[in-house]
Structure 1
Amino acid sequence: MKNHFSNGGFGDFYTDIATSMYKQPVIKLNDKIFLDGLTTLELYAQDFAGKELETLGFVYKEPGFASNQFVVARFSVTCCTADASVFGVLVESESASKWAKDSWVQVRGKLELRKVDGFDMLVLKAAHIQPVQAPKDPYVYYSYEAPSN
């Protein structure tokens, strides 16, 4: 499996993460792997199309979004909270409009590949969305550690 991802030229770190994530029946994009996992999904978008993914975050919406879209998002901090940036996965669901901005949700569904401005992008077609409590630490960080499997 590792050989499958090693042709991308993105280095052993992301190859190891891609291999670990791909083996999971449902990819769990949790706090520890959130940012590195998002990067991996972006680098290998075609390979992860059709895979199931589960993650949690707050509902983030932009003015240009369709009524069936939101991002399940987390904040990442590089230096201090003043430089926090939003990272996440675009979710599509018929119930998207019922979820309030900044409410916390857990989302599970299938990743679909889309072409956006000539680039491959994964969209999470939600099969299940449920409200959750915000985690004690709402921020996520790059781990810089390859998975241990």
Structure 2
Amino acid sequence: MQLQFQQAARALILLAFSALIFKLHFTGEITKFINPKYESLSQVASVIFLILFFIQITRTWKVKKSSYHHCDQHDHDCDHNHDHGDSSFNTKKLISYIIIVFPLLTGFLLPAKVLDASIANKKGAMLALSNQKQAPKEENNKEDSNPPEEMEESNINGQANPSIDDNPVDPALLENQQKEISDEEYNQLIQQLEQNQNIEMNDYVYAAYYEEMSKDINKFKGRKIELKGFVYKEDGFAQNQLVISRFLITHCVADASIIGFLSEFPEASSLDKDTWIKANGVIEITTYNGKELPVLKITDWEKISEPNEPYLYPISVKIL
């Protein structure tokens, strides 16, 4: 029996990819790379790599022959150009192996890095924030399901619409980022946003609320808001200004987009970039580079540690 080193190397690479994906799931770091709703797909990929490894391992040994590779003329011509994995190792193969092995080395040896203010700066955070109102409508966006007269009725005597209060969104649902919700549940979330004077931007509703508020910020002027995020600053900011920022992941970190709120409070100058804070404030409107933006007048805040799940994800709405 003769060991085929190149075939063995290929088997090890397949096993390493399977192990890397398993490691990311085991440590919980997989959500730092992909939207949680795709976790099952990555698990399937890990199993496929493992199956391919077992297939490949059968090719690592062969019976030693006295002559070099012999082609059966009934199968194909001997003057072929394809590689059986036992041809001589050359520079072209070396480069190919380096390209394949590089993500394995970085995956095993380097800790997963969370996107931060430096990435936000490269993406042009303030330009992105100031253009939010011009962003195209996504599939998940829903039109207001209540006609104007129904909304007026819901606010008579300061009482909310009974259909909303009697059927609140399941709190357990808010903690489950992977679960899809119906159109009715999505509309219910938006109606709650429109009626609440105190807006809580928790991780589950953040993206939906942020997009809805960007459509008509005047509707939410003067309301109280609670949120958390990391500090981002740009040249040209006043001493009392910063952005409380988050990264929104639609599919994976490659499509990450920055969202957040320009905020103002006296202690802003003392906070470094990437510091995570939790803040309460009041929504006002300002102009930045000729564009209208919401600005939060912060009333109280505190430093917090970076959350285990630093990214935000869109709500998945069932398409019926």
Q: Same fold by TM-score, threshold 0.5 exceeded?
A: yes
1:104 aligns with 2:279: no
- Establish whether residue 85 from structure 1 lines up as the match of residue 253 from structure 2: no
Q: CA deviation at 1:144?
A: 4.0
* Equivalent runs, 1:1-149 vs 2, <5 Å: 2-4=146-148, 16-116=188-288, 119-145=291-317
Q: Tell me, yes or no, if the aligned pair for 1:51 and 1:110 is still in contact at 8 Å.
A: yes
Structure that is richer in strand per residue = 1
Once residues 298 and 306 of structure 2 are traced to their aligned partners in structure 1, the CA distance between those partners, rounded to angstroms, is 20
- Residue 98 of structure 2: aligned partner: none
CA contact (8 A) 1:91 1:126 kept: yes
Q: Which amino acid aligns with 2:237?
A: F
- Alpha-carbon contact 2:186-2:317 (below 8 Å) kept: no
The residue type paired with residue 232 of structure 2 is Y
Amino acid at match of 1:37: Y
Q: What CA distance in whole angstroms lies between the structure 1 residues aligned with 2:212 and 2:297?
A: 19
Deviation larger for 99-108 or 15-24: 15-24
TM-fit CA distance, 1:141:
0.9
Cα distance in 2 for partners of 1:50, 1:93 equals 16
Q: Which residue type is aligned with residue 126 of structure 1? A: I
Deviation at 1:63, TM superposition (A): 1.4
Instruction: Give 1:116 shift.
Output: 4.2
Structure exhibiting the larger radius of gyration computed from Cα positions = 2
TM-score, normalised to structure 1, is 0.81
Aligned residues: 141
Q: 1:41 to 1:108 in 2, by over 3 A?
A: same
Deviation at 1:67, TM superposition (A): 1.1
Q: Note the C-alpha offset of 1:79.
A: 3.0
Q: TM-score, normalised by structure 2?
A: 0.40
Q: Gaps (5+ residues) in structure 1? A: 7-11
* More off after superposition, 74-83 vs 126-135: 74-83
Given residue 59 of structure 1, which amino acid in structure 2 is its aligned partner?
V
CA RMSD of superposed structures (Å): 2.8
The one of the two structures with greater contact order (alpha-carbon pairs below 8 A, sep at least 6) is 1
How many Å separate the matches in 2 of 1:132 and 1:3? 41
Aligned to 1:9: none
Q: Per-residue CA shift, 1:51-89, capped at 9, x if unaligned?
A: 000000001111121111111111112332233222101
Q: Which amino acid letter does the alignment assign opposite residue 36 of structure 1? A: A
What amino acid maps onto 1:111 in structure 2?
I
Shift of residue 42 of structure 1? 1.0
Confirm or deny: 8 A CA contact 1:17 1:40 kept in the other structure. no
**Which protein has the bigger helix share?**
2
- AA aligned to 1:27 is I
Change (3 A) 1:53 1:60: same
Give the CA deviation at 1:25: 3.4
Separation of aligned partners in 2, 1:144 and 1:120: 29
